[in-house]
Structure 1
Amino acid sequence: MSKWHDLSGEQKEQILITTDENGKPIGQATRNDCHKGSGKTHLAFVAFLFDGEGNIYIQKRSQQKSLWDGHWDVSIVSHVLPGETVQQAAQRRGMEELGVDTEFQDLGGFFYFAQYNGNCENEYCHVLIGKSVEEVIHNPVEIEEIKKIKLEDLKKEVKNKKDKFTPWLKIALEKFALSPL
């Protein structure tokens, strides 16, 4: 039995926290309702994971993902579930996606809306940073590939190959001054 979870259906009935455009929780809805059509604004996060030498891990999303499959993305990305803090959600997904257990610092958040193949991301998204000197082993169900990259090189790649990256990665790089912990 694999230690990694199954992506079948991407947990469409999973309950997410809905928010206003400033990130204030206002209710709950299913993952499916939050992403179909114009969706509902919901609480999410991106966590940039640095290694001990100041490189950032980026992931290439699995082809099984329903949104931005095969695109390069932030180290760890997901939703904050009811009863979790943003940091707890990042720690949970750090284990599920990369097999790392570390703490994260919340830098703030932003609202964005982006459509993809008739569905969308409609999120208030927190940006976190963390560091791990542990070996990173990516979850092959979630992630097709992982690589380490210097921050400046990532910014250059995003500028030159915008269509290869997720919209939230591009926004997070523009809005936040990232630096290794």
Structure 2
Amino acid sequence: MTELVVLLDPHGSAIGTAAKSEVHHAETPLHLAFSCYVVDDDGRLLMTRRAAHKRTFPGVWTNSFCGHPAPGEALDEAVVRRGRQELGLDVGSVRLVLPGFRYRAEQDGVVEHEMCPVFVATATGAPEPDPAEVDDVRAVPWATLHDGARQGSWPELSPWCVEQVAQLAVHGDPARWPTGDPSALPPAARLSL
């Protein structure tokens, strides 16, 4: 089955779909995605290193996982689905924290161009990452991630993660990240939140 992503106009309304396998290239169209930060039982954030063979940003460290909602799929449901697929984790307490996050980044001629609401979630147990998606997982305190992103000392941290951490830093520890306003989501993402 072909995995589809939702294409967006500049205001975040859906204007069509495209195959995920074909959407990322030098002229990647704006599309809908999400990022999630998973907090473990000890209050640490799970960080992942993207698989070295991925088309976009291979081998870089980033937030716990990212993904694309299917056409008609609610973002919170997509987060739960992707947590299972990518990390082998059942995530709970999924909460929107940055509803309006969007970015454009390029590496080696391949562009990411997304409206990408950011979530935080909890999980119990150890991750069992899919090697097609993830090369490594590390649980780190918020201060380690924050300082590494701010000072540029974390090796090969994804540009979207650096931007997200900067926006979340004003709130401190993830336990204090406020819930984002669902009305600030891109229109295409306002299905059930």
Q: Bin the TM-score by the shorter chain.
A: 0.7 to 0.9
2:46 to 50, 57, 61: 57
Residue aligning to 1:160: 152
* Equivalent residue for 2:123, pick from 109, 132, 136: 132
Mean Cα deviation higher: 57-66 or 106-115: 106-115
What does residue 42 of structure 1 align with?
31
- Map 1:15-164 onto structure 2 (within 5 A): 15-103=4-92, 104-107=94-97, 108-158=99-149, 159-161=151-153, 164=156
**4+ runs deviating over 4 angstroms:** none
Shift of 1:24: 2.6
Are 1:34 and 1:41, in contact at CA under 8 Å, matched by a contact in 2? no
What residue identity is the alignment partner of 1:152? Answer: A
- 2:132 and 2:20 map into 1 onto residues whose CA distance is 19
CA contact (8 A) 1:22 1:111 kept: no
Distance 1:44 1:99 in 2: 20
User: How far apart are 1:16 and its partner, in Å?
Assistant: 0.7
> 2:133 & 2:63 partners in 1: Cα distance?
13
Unaligned runs of 5+ in 2: 177-193
Is residue 179 of structure 1 aligned with residue 177 of structure 2? no
Q: Is the 8 A contact 1:18 1:41 kept in 2?
A: yes
Kept in 2, the 8 Å contact 1:111–1:125? The answer is yes
> Which of 78-87 and 121-130 deviates more?
78-87
Q: TM-score, normalised by structure 1?
A: 0.86
Counterparts of 2:74 and 2:50, CA distance in 1: 24
C-alpha distance in structure 2 between counterparts of 1:137 and 1:95, whole Å = 9
Q: Deviations over 1:19-62 (max 9, x none)?
A: 13443322212224531112100000110000112100000111
1:163 positional shift: 5.9
Shift of 1:14: 2.9
Look up the SS of the partner of 1:109 in the other structure: coil
Gaps of 5+ in 1: 1-10
Give me the TM-score of the superposition, normalised by structure 2: 0.81
Alignment RMSD: 1.9
**8 Å Cα contact 1:22/1:110 also seen in 2:** no
Q: Deviations along 1:114-156, whole A, 9 cap, x unmatched?
A: 1111110010001000011222222222111100001111111
